């Protein structure tokens, strides 16, 4: 894609930075854990919400009025598990990891109503650190820098394999953590997976050293995990989050209880696995939001990929996915901390931005309520990213919100029906965020 821009704002006086604006008439989901305010009114001034209440109860003398009657307003989404930079048009390669491409993908997230993402452990050349420092990029960027694994045993995709730091002893592991923290990464990522017996798994002594060293520096560690036995030991070792669900078997009650007790952040990451469970192209391939944010070459390749699938591979994927659904339902029913993460960009045909919305739908299908799923992608993810002024639309918070044509509390897929996106109180000119 060419013509990549930074944050593009509506050039109307009503939405200029610093203007005082009164929004009236919408249903407002202030906090997904609470009932929405019907026929609401709220005031945005200098990028922040300053008043929130029922229409008629909010005094906003001198403010420009915006009528949102019939719309639903909710906090902008947050996605703490993506892999930026590798996917570009019809190619998927480390050479694509450039400042321009990272910004292009952040703009796609902003178009889809996502205010912030975390690139989780596959950033390779510092481009993400440059972008993170630019205050006016569209979606805000967090990064785990380079994650840790056994040598050549990190990400499963060959193009990403060189992004992880291979460690072989405790001294290397501890120094690697210090090196990443010196770059001010937001979290430490580790991979604990043998990729179905094809690579060496990060040894317990090494991931324990990584966790211990990170904690000494008040940093957190999140683990890519597959097997239940690894998850059990990582919990005992003090892991702060899981970047995936356990996928080999049902989680036992004792492990679930310990995960809940220690408030470990759980990213379901349902979407990528779900795409492998069918041999026929799904209906969402025609979704307007998907087609708006996904490069045409990827759209064509994804649709064509279904023709080459075998019944055997699809059946195996269905069994794995059933385990994932069961484990998510069990964690959620137990009251464990359910976070969010779509794993977008992890493989060539798992695209950015739309996948955040699809993930919500799959979480609800697995047994979560729409309100619980929305809490995971707003409140819980904001806490994980340490974005204290996001996630709810209360007075004093950053005015990051999405205007929808339908209510996501009734059907969570309505998060895709986006009418407008506001970040830091300013309406995005969505049609100009990236070249078509």
Question: In this structure, are 94 and 180 located in the same domain?
Answer: yes
Domain shared by 396 and 381, yes or no: no
Claim to verify: residue 62 and residue 111 sit in the same structural domain: no
State residue 232's pLDDT score: 98
> Is the domain of 58 the same as that of 201?
no
Gyration radius of the chain's alpha carbons: 21
Q: Which residue has the higher pLDDT, 363 or 135?
A: 363
pLDDT average, residue stretch 414-423:
97
Q: Mind listing the pLDDT tens digit for each residue in 121-134? A: 999 988 888 888 77
Percent of the chain with pLDDT over 90: 86
Q: Taking Cα atoms as reference points, which of 390, 386, 79, 67 lies closest to residue 240?
A: 386
Total count of domains within the chain:
2
Place of tokens 């739309």: 354
pLDDT of residue 277: 96
Does 236 share its domain with 126? yes
pLDDT tier at 205 (50, 70, 90 boundaries)? very high
β-pairing, 241-242 vs 265-266, is: parallel
**Does residue 369 form part of some domain?**
yes
Does residue 406 register a pLDDT over 80? yes
Domain assignment present for residue 149? The answer is: yes
Determine the pLDDT at residue 2. 31
Judgement on whether residues 149 and 95 belong to the same structural domain of the protein = yes
Query: Where is pLDDT greater, at 264 or 6?
Result: 264
Write out the residue range of the structural domain in which residue 426 sits: 13-75+392-432
User: 288 CB contacts (<8 Å, ≥6 apart)?
Assistant: 416
Ramachandran angles phi, psi of 32, nearest 5°: -60, -15
Is 151 within a domain? Answer: yes
Is the pTM higher than 0.75?
yes
How far apart, in whole angstroms, are the C-alpha atoms of residue 211 and residue 219?
9
Gap between the Cα atoms of 362 and 61, Å rounded:
44
CATH assignment at residue 56: 2.30.40.10
pLDDT mean over 419-434? 90
Please give the Cα distance from 289 to 8 (Å, whole number): 19
Question: Residue 41 pLDDT more than 50?
Answer: yes
Instruction: Please report the pLDDT score of residue 15 as a whole number.
Output: 44
pLDDT tens per residue, range 230-275:
999 999 999 999 999 999 999 999 999 999 999 999 999 999 999 9
**Quick one: pLDDT at residue 131?**
86
pLDDT mean over 57-71: 92
Q: Does some domain include residue 8?
A: no
Taking only the tens place, the pLDDT of each residue in 157-174 is 999 999 999 999 999 999
Q: What is the pLDDT of residue 433?
A: 80
Give residue 7's pLDDT.
45
């Amino acid at each position: 894609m060419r013509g990549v821009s930074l944050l593009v704002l509506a050039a109307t006086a009503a939405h200029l930075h610093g203007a005082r604006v009164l929004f009236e008439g919408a249903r407002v989901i202030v906090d997904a854990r609470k009932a929405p305010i019907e026929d609401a009114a709220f005031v945005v001034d200098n990028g922040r919400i300053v008043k929130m209440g029922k229409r008629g109860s909010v005094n906003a003398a001198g403010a420009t009025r915006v009528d949102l009657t019939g719309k639903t307003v909710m906090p902008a989404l947050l996605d703490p598990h993506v892999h930026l930079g590798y996917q570009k048009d019809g190619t998927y390669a480390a050479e694509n990891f450039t400042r321009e491409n990272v910004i292009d993908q952040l703009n796609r997230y902003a178009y889809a109503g996502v205010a912030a993402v975390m690139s989780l452990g596959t950033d390779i050349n510092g481009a993400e650190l440059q972008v993170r420092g630019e205050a006016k990029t569209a979606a805000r960027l967090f990064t785990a820098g380079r994650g840790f694994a056994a040598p050549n045993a990190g990400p499963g995709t060959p193009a990403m394999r060189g992004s992880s730091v291979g460690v072989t002893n405790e001294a290397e592991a501890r120094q690697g953590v210090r090196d990443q923290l010196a770059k001010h990464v937001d979290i430490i990522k580790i991979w604990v997976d043998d990729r179905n017996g094809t690579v060496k798994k990060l040894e317990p002594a090494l991931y324990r050293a990584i966790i211990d060293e990170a904690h000494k520096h008040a940093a957190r560690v999140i683990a890519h995990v597959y097997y239940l036995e690894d998850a059990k030991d990582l919990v005992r070792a003090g892991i702060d989050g899981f970047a995936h669900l356990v996928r080999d078997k049902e989680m036992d009650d004792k492990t679930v209880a310990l995960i809940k007790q220690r408030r470990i952040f759980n990213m379901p990451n349902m979407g990528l696995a779900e795409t492998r469970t069918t041999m026929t192209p799904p209906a969402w391939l025609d979704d307007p939001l998907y087609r708006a944010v996904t490069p045409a070459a990827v759209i064509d390749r994804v649709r064509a990929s279904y023709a080459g699938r075998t019944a055997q591979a699809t059946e195996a994927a269905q069994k794995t996915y059933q385990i994932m659904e069961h484990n998510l339902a069990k964690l959620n029913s137990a009251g464990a901390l359910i976070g969010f993460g779509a794993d977008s960009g992890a493989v060539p045909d798992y695209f950015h931005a739309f996948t955040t919305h699809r993930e919500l739908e799959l979480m609800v299908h697995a047994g979560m309520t729409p309100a619980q799923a929305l809490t995971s992608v707003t409140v819980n993810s904001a806490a994980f990213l340490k974005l204290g002024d996001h996630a709810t639309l209360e007075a004093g918070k950053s005015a990051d919100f999405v205007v929808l044509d339908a209510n996501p509390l009734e059907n969570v897929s309505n998060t895709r029906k986006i009418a407008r996106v506001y970040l830091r109180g300013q309406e995005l000119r969505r049609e100009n965020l990236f070249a078509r």
